[in-house]
A and B are shown apart, each in its own frame.
Chain A
Amino acid sequence: MKKVDVGKKILGENEKYALENLFFFTRQKKLCLNIISSPGSGKTTILARTINELKGKIKIGVIEGDIQTDIDAERIRATEAPVVQINTEGACHLSAVQISDALKQLPVDDLDLILIENVGNLVCPSAFELGESGKIVVLSVPEGDDKPAKYPVIFAKSKVLLINKIDLLDGGQVDFDIERAKSDARRLNKGIEIFPISARRGDGMDNWCDWLVKSVEKSAE
């Protein structure tokens, strides 16, 4: 038997593209955020509402990741924001090279903020850096307040946690202890910003949008 030391990063190819993307965003002084959640947590509704609320303030472009269809891109197109749809044809996450290709189809010069909606999945997308400035994790209240404890990795890696669909807490339609979710999310990530919102009704969107505007300003400096 002969042993050979290799010492190579297995996802080095993805990392290479992620670094290129990161340099691109830094050079262009653009903010890019990678939005990650389970399917059905309301990512697209959040995007559409955010774009509409920030119209006239910041210009947003969107990269949509889905296994199939351009249903989400259609919903973003209705807001008149530029959007590129990526179909992963079965893959459970977006890869950095797909973002690098999508960026060529977006009018980046005219944008302040690029939002990437990753494939709905609370585990796999966290393992693939895209070159983003930060990750945003979305947790909707029907999913349960135990998710930060059960899926610690994505909560540990995210800059912001959006707790969505809080309108469902009215009248006790859903049991969800916001304080428990917050404290579990902060266990591995003391600095995580947490905004409880309802993208459908509009609750809390002002705090989230303020954070976005400030972050965009910081990136543009």
Chain B
Amino acid sequence: MHETMVAQSLMAIIAEQAAENNAKPVAAKISCGMLNTVNDEVLRFAFEAIAKDTPCEGVKLQVEHKPIRARCKNCDRNFDVELSLPECPKCGGDDFELQPDAPLILEEIEFQTE
């Protein structure tokens, strides 16, 4: 449900960039970590609703989910954590150190050119 607020903030940045570049935005690439709890479908739906009748209408959102990395305290292996079964893929150990989760970032905007 908080995707509405994410969509609002996202649209504000895209609109600002559109004004700066004096061009119509058509697509945006977003990335986020696994602990950001952003649901792609809900975000797209919220963005579409908010962007209607604004310069951001029709902007296609692409969301890349970055895995959370961890280091196994038993065998030192670095690995991507599977949220449903968090364990080291090498030794099966479940004692690991979580790396910080990637923040929610607007990576890139694609603009239409004349």
Chain A residues within 8 Å of B, Cβ to Cβ: 1-14, 91-93, 95, 121, 123-124, 126-128, 149, 152-153, 156-157, 187-188, 190
- Report chain B residues within 8 Å CB of A2: 21, 23, 110-113
Q: Which of B2, B34, B107 has the most CB of A within 10 A?
A: B2
A153 and B17 contact, CB distance less than 8 A:
no
B108 and A4 contact, CB distance less than 8 A:
yes
**What does DSSP make chain A's interface, helix, strand, loop or mixed?**
mixed
- Report chain B residues within 8 Å CB of A123: 1-2, 37
- With A9-B103, A9-B105, A10-B105 already in contact, the answer to whether A3 and B37 are too (CB < 8 A) is no
A188 and B81 contact, CB distance less than 8 A:
yes
Q: Which of B13, B34, B95 contacts A10 (CB 8 A)?
A: B13
- Report chain A residues within 8 Å CB of B9: 10-14
10 nearest A-B residue pairs (beta carbon): A124-B2, A92-B1, A10-B104, A2-B111, A6-B106, A153-B35, A10-B9, A2-B113, A8-B106, A4-B109
**How many Å from the CB of A65 to the closest CB on chain B?**
13
**How many Å from the CB of A153 to the closest CB on chain B?**
5
B51 within 8 A of A: no
Chain B residues within 8 Å of A, Cβ to Cβ: 1-2, 5-6, 9-10, 13, 17, 21, 23, 26, 30, 34-38, 81, 83-84, 86, 94-95, 98, 103-113
Cα A187 to Cα B38 with chains together (Å): 21
- Report chain B residues within 8 Å CB of A149: 84
B106 and A156 contact, CB distance less than 8 A:
no
Cα A9 to Cα B23 with chains together (Å): 22
- Report chain B residues within 8 Å CB of A13: 9
Q: Which of B6, B21, B26 contacts A1 (CB 8 A)?
A: B26
Residue of B nearest to A12 (CB): B9
A4 and B21 contact, CB distance less than 8 A:
yes
